[in-house]
Amino acid sequence: MAPDRSHPPAAQPARSFEFPDFERRSLGSGLELIRLAVDGLPLVHLRLLLTAGGHHASAGAPGLPSFTAALLDEGTSQRTGIELAAKIERLGGYLATGAGWDATVIETEVLAQDLGTGLALLAEVAREPSFPDHEIGRVRRQLQAEIKRREAQPSAVATKHFQRTLYQGTVYDTPLIGTHDALERMDREHVLDFYSHHVTPAGATLVAVGDITSEQLAEHAEGAFAGWTGDPIDRPRIEAKPQKAARIEIIDRPGAAQTEIRLGHVGIHRAHPRYLAAVVLSCLLGGKFTSRLNLNLREKRGFTYGVSSSFGKRSSPAPFVIATALANEHVGEALAETFGEIHRLLDEAPSDREVADTRDYLIGSFPYTVETLGGLAGRLSDLAVYDLGDDYYATQAQALGSISASELLDTARELLTPDRSVVVCVGPAEELRPQLEERFEAPITVLS
Amino acid sequence: MKAGLEFASRLVQERLDNGLRVVLLPDRSRPLVSVNIWYHVGSKNESPGHTGFAHLFEHMLFQGSQNVGTNDHFALIQQVGGVANGSTSYDCTNYYETLPSQCLELGLWLESDRMGFLLPALDEAKLQNQKDVVMNERRQRVDNQPYGRAFEILHELLYPKGHPYRWPVIGYMDDIAATTLAEVHEFFTTHYRPDNAVLTLVGDFEPHAALQLVRKYFEELPAGPKPPATPSLEAPEGPQPSSAPSVRHELRDAVNLPRLYLAWRGPALTAGDWPAGNLYSVATSGGKSSPLYRDLVLEHEIAQDVYVGMMPLELESTLMAVMTVRPGVDPTQAEKALLDRLRDWRVSPPHPGDFERAQNKTRVAHLHEVESFESRADLLSLFATHYGDAALIDSELERYAKVTPNDMLEFAHRYQDPERAVTLWVLPEESS
């Protein structure tokens, strides 16, 4: 018999999703362990989160936290950088180090049978880096080349200028990687100084996800981290000066095939009480395929391949940003539509149906984001870095489910300030400027 | 310890009367289901002057069908907490959604409606809109992207006129702009049919009940007349190392670091020496301790990055060595250094440590490929499409385990001749 195709079939009774149990314990010295056992794959994902972050860079030394992090696995008291890499890679694993704004991460993933080796190397890199002079020079040159490469990447240029304007005079005004000149000035003394004052087990967390028992983790971690001590360090609070009025910056790229856009302003920090409502609001505006901005700019007008909006995730107020790449000839119109969509959020509450659809999307797709060891480790890392509380993911669906249309209207009015937004356009100024002058009163600056 | 994970014993494979191949893999570990369809049609089925069509067509499949409104495909999926997408390659086009498992039937209803009843919903306005979107996609990914045009130029140099891999999947701008609604209809009728597709479900379902649902929605769709044969190569004996040994090209682009692309014609994805080639790629350049990275990036600081890799394609693969060059390094010297290293690999087999690293990294990579339902379903569809049997997913690592260091040497010798590479340099504009 032919099926009834005239309307979507009803769902079966739902099987509930529960965030898997994890356990937490402290080693002496302040290091916390979080373990989440996952059956199925013979792999263990290990992530050590240190409290030292990009926000600890001093004014004259942007990039020093990233430089230090990049050097952690370039030599230890026991092994050269290449020996470290060879040992872990021969097992099929990897070792990676890097600094985000809020944490330095040392990460490894190995087959479960190699847990001991993985954990020992991770601890060795955290505790005994030797910062050899020749590696300092080499990594500096590699990072400087990377900076140079990014200068030709329109999306990187747009993000860099956007954040510079938003956060002028604070540590957030320069990318984590730093600048060519600052790197040029950094030597071993700077790196050692940063390491000794900022890398400490106090406040650090080791996240272990995968095929690993409580006993295995305890046995290996206690051995690897025994005797590691240090004092806790504070997280600085980064306060940007609020923008007084909207402004538009064009980074001129004559002949560019498209214009890369960043539009927004300073938002909120991750632990802000409105954060979850802000996530729903941003999802409705530009966080899913059926968001208002994507349906308008892409599906209705064909101005772009895609547009997104997001509230960033940092311990101090992070950017609220709308990001897109637009056909040059439609930049003025597309930006006017974008501001129109923001104002619509300020003028009237979304319908209950639209709010419910957005909440249900976020609730329903969450299990999909934690299918993998890396996905789970990412969620547990946020828990540790932002002190979200151990029941955060267990209660998140309920918290999302209670967000109402009127709360979203309040959230929009509290957090969105389109009249004090920064717009950065990386594209051909000659073509962009008349379109922008025609539609906006905000001052326009053209930079090369 | 076993090499990988075993799925074949739980796998259900069926072929419906209309030719649709169905692959079911139950896994109750999480309350999700992935619905994954591969149509055996890609840009290789296009012709010069009509490039980019398979990909543009993929976009049109998200524009609604007879019973699904214009933006409803995504709306219906997202409002139940599902995620969906599609992608087009040279050989195939895939569509997939991962849903809360109670919504499996929704996914089957959506996929069957657009497999069977797409055309009544398409119109000129939707086509024009998606042409604009795709032209912006091309600008974003190709024309306004540093090195963005390299792959299409490389393929133009590597493959002779008329070869089905000669043009880019996304197509040329003029061809995208010229697409007509009549062509969309013709393409759908020719290629989007049950007997040219594989439907894979992975996740939280009972296989018998799931198969009943699949039958309910797909069984009545007609097979239609036979689709035209897949394009084949002019050289039936298989790929030759290179069609044009001395081809060189320089592209001036908005980049700051020069980049070198060397390319050769490699084995087909299903060829016996594909695993050796894949291991060879990982052995030479997979990881910081690999010989190429160590030598060119770490020790001599000639390169910012370097990799050897093969694009996995059905008729023959594209084998490449790609190196981004450090500022201040003479490109000629850099090219010589890379070619010298590649010559070494044709003289002696990989060092035991490099061989072991390649084997273990490949094993871990396979584990990641089957980690999420979405990725596992995609891999099952790949095996069903290209190997004719999804159960071969279990033997993938065995094929790799059989490769010896000498097989890798033989691979390099057969395919990667430094004297016969197609060479493309992408250079900064200001240095001209």
Q: How far, in Å, CA of B122 to CA of B66, rounded?
A: 9
B6 interfaces chain A, CB cutoff of 8 Å: no
B356 interfaces chain A, CB cutoff of 8 Å: yes
B219 interfaces chain A, CB cutoff of 8 Å: no
B294 interfaces chain A, CB cutoff of 8 Å: yes
B5 contacts in A (CB within 8 Å)? 40-41
Number of domains in chain A: 2
Question: From the list B71, B101, B105, which residue is nearest A9 (CB)?
Answer: B105
Q: Do A88 and A177 reside in the same domain of the chain?
A: yes
Q: Measured between CA atoms, how close is A353 to chain B, in angstroms?
A: 10
The pLDDT of residue B82:
97
Q: Quick one: closest CA in B to A329, which residue?
A: B136
Question: From the list B29, B81, B368, which residue is nearest A40 (CB)?
Answer: B29
Q: Quick one: closest CA in B to A153, which residue?
A: B146
Choose the weakest-confidence range: A236-245, A358-367, B380-389: A236-245
Q: Do A180 and A286 reside in the same domain of the chain?
A: no
A362 contacts in B (CB within 8 Å)? 81
Judge whether A7 lies within some domain. Answer: no
The pLDDT of residue B229:
67
Distances in Å between the Cα of A263 and the Cα atoms of A159, A284, A308, A332, A388 are 10, 17, 10, 13, 28
A6 contacts in B (CB within 8 Å)? 67
Asked if residues B357 and A92 have their Cβ atoms less than 8 Å apart, the reply is yes
B104 interfaces chain A, CB cutoff of 8 Å: yes
State whether B71 and A303 contact (CB < 8 Å).
Answer: no
Judge whether A235 lies within some domain. Answer: no
State whether B304 and A85 contact (CB < 8 Å).
Answer: no
Question: From the list A15, A93, A290, which residue is nearest B78 (CB)?
Answer: A290
Print pLDDT tens along chain B (432 aa).
Answer: 344 589 999 999 999 999 999 999 999 999 999 999 999 999 999 999 999 999 999 999 999 999 999 999 999 999 999 999 999 999 999 999 999 999 999 999 999 999 999 999 999 999 999 999 999 999 999 999 999 999 999 999 999 999 999 999 999 999 999 999 999 999 999 999 999 999 999 999 999 999 999 999 999 999 877 666 666 655 434 444 444 556 999 999 999 999 999 999 999 999 999 999 999 999 999 999 999 999 999 999 999 999 999 999 999 999 999 999 999 999 999 999 999 999 999 999 999 999 999 999 999 999 999 999 999 999 999 999 999 999 999 999 999 999 999 999 999 999 999 999 999 999 999 744
Q: Do A285 and A371 reside in the same domain of the chain?
A: yes
Judge whether A17 lies within some domain. Answer: no
Q: Measured between CA atoms, how close is B154 to chain A, in angstroms?
A: 21
A371 contacts in B (CB within 8 Å)? 30, 32, 371-374
B128 interfaces chain A, CB cutoff of 8 Å: yes
State whether A40 and B103 contact (CB < 8 Å).
Answer: no
Q: Measured between CA atoms, how close is B166 to chain A, in angstroms?
A: 23
- Last-in-domain residue among A225, A259, A275: A225
Question: From the list A81, A91, A371, which residue is nearest B30 (CB)?
Answer: A371
State whether A302 and B327 contact (CB < 8 Å).
Answer: no
Full domain range(s) for residue A322: 247-447
Q: Quick one: closest CA in A to B102, which residue?
A: A12
CATH number of the domain encompassing residue A98: 3.30.830.10
Higher-pLDDT residue of A362 and B238 is A362
State whether B371 and A151 contact (CB < 8 Å).
Answer: no
The pLDDT of residue A14:
86
The pLDDT of residue B232:
62
State whether B143 and A258 contact (CB < 8 Å).
Answer: yes
Asked if residues A332 and A436 have their Cβ atoms less than 8 Å apart, the reply is yes
A153 contacts in B (CB within 8 Å)? 146
The pLDDT of residue B264:
96
Question: From the list B1, B80, B130, which residue is nearest A360 (CB)?
Answer: B80
Q: How far, in Å, CA of A261 to CA of A324, rounded?
A: 5
A139 contacts in B (CB within 8 Å)? none
One-letter amino acid for residue B54 of the chain = A
Q: Measured between CA atoms, how close is B338 to chain A, in angstroms?
A: 18
Q: Do A287 and A370 reside in the same domain of the chain?
A: yes
State whether B146 and A149 contact (CB < 8 Å).
Answer: yes
Q: How far, in Å, CA of A327 to CA of A325, rounded?
A: 7
Q: Measured between CA atoms, how close is A306 to chain B, in angstroms?
A: 8
Q: Do A196 and A332 reside in the same domain of the chain?
A: no
Q: Quick one: closest CA in A to B213, which residue?
A: A3
Q: Quick one: closest CA in B to A140, which residue?
A: B301
Q: Do A59 and A112 reside in the same domain of the chain?
A: yes
Residues 52 through 71 of chain B touching chain A, CB cutoff 8 Å: 66-67, 70-71
Q: How far, in Å, CA of A298 to CA of B215, rounded?
A: 35
The pLDDT of residue A29:
83
Judge whether A233 lies within some domain. Answer: no
Question: From the list B109, B144, B367, which residue is nearest A258 (CB)?
Answer: B144
Q: Measured between CA atoms, how close is A92 to chain B, in angstroms?
A: 4
B241 interfaces chain A, CB cutoff of 8 Å: no
Both tokens assigned to B139: 């600008």
A220 by DSSP, 3-state: which? helix
B252 interfaces chain A, CB cutoff of 8 Å: no
Chain centre distance of CA A376: 15
B144 interfaces chain A, CB cutoff of 8 Å: yes
Arithmetic mean of pLDDT, A295-317: 98
Q: Do A256 and A205 reside in the same domain of the chain?
A: no
Q: Do A253 and A217 reside in the same domain of the chain?
A: no
Q: Do A412 and A282 reside in the same domain of the chain?
A: yes
Mutant choice from B73, B117, B139, B221 vs A, greatest count of A C-beta within 10 A: B139
Q: Do A207 and A281 reside in the same domain of the chain?
A: no
Question: From the list A153, A257, A357, which residue is nearest B139 (CB)?
Answer: A257
Residues 296 through 315 of chain B touching chain A, CB cutoff 8 Å: 297-298, 301, 304
Contacts of A120 by beta carbon, 8 Å cutoff, 6+ apart: A220, A223, A224
* Prediction ipTM score: 0.96
Q: How many residues comprise chain A?
A: 448
Mutant choice from B56, B59, B77, B133 vs A, greatest count of A C-beta within 10 A: B133
Q: Do A126 and A217 reside in the same domain of the chain?
A: yes
State whether A5 and B78 contact (CB < 8 Å).
Answer: no
Judge whether A251 lies within some domain. Answer: yes
State whether A371 and B356 contact (CB < 8 Å).
Answer: no
- pTM, full prediction: 0.96
Judge whether A5 lies within some domain. Answer: no
Q: How far, in Å, CA of A356 to CA of A345, rounded?
A: 16
Mutant choice from B96, B141, B144 vs A, greatest count of A C-beta within 10 A: B144
- Last-in-domain residue among A193, A225, A257: A225
Question: From the list A5, A365, A367, which residue is nearest B31 (CB)?
Answer: A367
B288 interfaces chain A, CB cutoff of 8 Å: yes
State whether A7 and B67 contact (CB < 8 Å).
Answer: yes
Question: From the list A40, A258, A367, which residue is nearest B140 (CB)?
Answer: A258
The pLDDT of residue B362:
97
Judge whether A428 lies within some domain. Answer: yes
Domains detected in chain B: 10-218 (3.30.830.10), 248-431 (3.30.830.10)
**φ and ψ at B377, to 5 degrees?**
-60, -40
State whether B364 and A303 contact (CB < 8 Å).
Answer: no
Q: Do A360 and A421 reside in the same domain of the chain?
A: yes
Q: Is the pLDDT of residue A329 over 90?
A: yes
Judge whether A11 lies within some domain. Answer: no
State whether A357 and B79 contact (CB < 8 Å).
Answer: yes
State whether A299 and B71 contact (CB < 8 Å).
Answer: yes
The pLDDT of residue B4:
58
